[in-house]
A and B are shown apart, each in its own frame.
Chain A
Amino acid sequence: MTGAAAVSIRNVSKTFGKGGTKALQNIELDFQPGEFVSLIGPSGCGKSTLLRVIGDLIDPSEGEAIIGGKTAHQARLDRDYGMVFQEATLMDWRTVERNVSLPLEMMGWDRSTRRERVRELLELVELTGFEDHHPWQLSGGMQQRVAIARALTFNPSLILMDEPFGALDEMTRDRLNLELLRIWEATGATVVFVTHSIAEAVFLSSRVVVMSARPGRVQKLVEVDLAYPRTNDTREEARFFELATEVRELLRESHDAREEA
């Protein structure tokens, strides 16, 4: 392996409560810098838990996550990653501009530098002109774009996304998928993306981590050998369908195995 992995998950297990459900069991994964990795699996497979272990928002019961050679804890304190949740999680009392600049305020940037940076990011997510709007005045898709802009403000090398488009309609989701790829290519960041949509995982990712539930385990890593930049035509390629079918069958296998158990 050359250089430090962007994310290295070493034998991570997580049990909630004493003798409770085993959310994650012996997860071993390495993500390379600049990779776009999706975590997919049935509900209860611990994909969101794994994302939070990477972000040091949950402590693993065993093992550890190493982010760019640092402990997850140190990486969080150094603000090495940006997080996007399923809900946009914007502050109602802040305007779009002040929501995006929130992390910068906390990092002590001065006002004019903040303003300049927010302007760039709103341009990137195509929300120029909405600076003074409040979150509730925006559609769900626009709110999520604000959340993405906010996660990118301080130029993190890693972006963690927890089903960011899960609550959106399919048209909006497809459009935001394209936008996200464009942003990813522009920033060169590593993305770890949790989803339960097979099409989304295959369309976006360079690799898909298929997980199975109870206990949460890595079932298989699927290499997505579709060329970037991907476009709407990618969704109609034969290879896209093959890969989607492969992921679907893996998910079904793990489901059937659990039914029999």
Chain B
Amino acid sequence: MTHLRRLLAEWAPALAILVVGLVGWEIAVNVLGIQKFLLPKPSEIVSAFWDERSVLWPAGWYTFTEAFWGFVVGASLGIAAALVLARFRPLGSALMPYFIAASAIPIIAFAPIANAWFGIEKNSKIFIAALLCFFPVLVNTLRGLTSVKPQQVELMRSYAAGNPAVFRRVRIPTSLPYLFTSLKVASVLAMIGAIVGEYFGGSQEQLGIQIKNSAALFQFETAWAAILVACILGIGFYIVVSLAEVVTMRRYPSAGRSRR
């Protein structure tokens, strides 16, 4: 009971801000007579969110699966590449500048080309999401795998450990905090990649297409409602990855994270 009360007390200020913000928004739109295409009222967005639920949620889910598979493919390849490059360090240091440069490229610009390569349906969006996830996961994981203290490696060598044992018992546990930081970033990027990829063309079942078409048809409250769906799914995805982090880091705690 006291736990619940403390939780409420902790979140009360944030909730208050939310309520004040929404009420202020509603009043401002009324009082200032803001046009609907510029900014609809929260109440209109919520009612569109409810009325169009049978269209928006399936579309949101469709887009989420694209983001999810993009995340799985991109992050897996990023982790695999990091493992290989950490094992063959000279190759890693030769390629690192390009990876860092690549993670600064506006990959989303490739979306129209991805449509040409993988077709206008799901696969092109998965490709973009995967590409967006790949570089940050690779760069961070590699950094984690190689940020082991030299003495830890010497210690393992003194136990006659070979490279596989050093990897398993030192490098991988050390890299976990870095890995999860990049996975959280990737979960957000995957959702962005999928939706923005859809803006360049796709089927009606996609959330990005819903947003684009609603805006084109002046149904701005529906466009906003669709964005709200994207936000909810994106935040949900981020929370799931964060929970995976909490569970994993409970098994592999590190001083920096567990110390209050």
Contact = CB atoms under 8 A, between A and B. Distances in A.
Interface of A: 52, 55-57, 76-79, 81-83, 85, 87, 89, 91-93, 102-103, 106-107, 134-136, 160
A85 B253 contact: no
Contact of B160 (A76, A134, A160): A76
Interface string B203-233: 0000000000000000000000000000000
B88 to A, nearest CB: 21
A77 B258 CA distance: 36
A106 B258 contact: no
A26 to B, nearest CB: 25
B55 interface: no
A51 B258 CA distance: 35
Interface of B: 149, 151-152, 154-155, 157-161, 165, 169-170, 173, 251-255, 258-259
Secondary structure dominating the interface of B:
helix
B155 A136 contact: no
Contacts of A81: 158
Contacts of B149: 87, 89
A135 B149 CA distance: 16
B158 A76 contact: yes
A136 B154 CA distance: 21
Contact of B154 (A57, A79, A106, A135): A57
Contacts of A102: 159, 169
A76 to B, nearest CB: 6
Contacts of A91: 152, 169-170, 173
B165 A85 contact: no
Contacts of B253: 92-93, 134
Given A92-B253, A134-B253, A57 B158 contact: yes
Given A93-B252, A136-B255, A136-B259, A83 B158 contact: yes
B158 A92 contact: no
Contact of B151 (A78, A87, A92, A106): A87
Candidate in B154, B155, B161, B254 with the most chain A CB atoms within 10 angstroms: B155
Contacts of B155: 83, 85, 89
Contacts of B157: 56-57, 76
Contacts of B161: 106
B160 to A, nearest CB: 5
B251 to A, nearest CB: 8
Residue in A79, A87, A92 with the greatest tally of chain B CB atoms within 10 Å:
A92
A102 B169 CA distance: 9
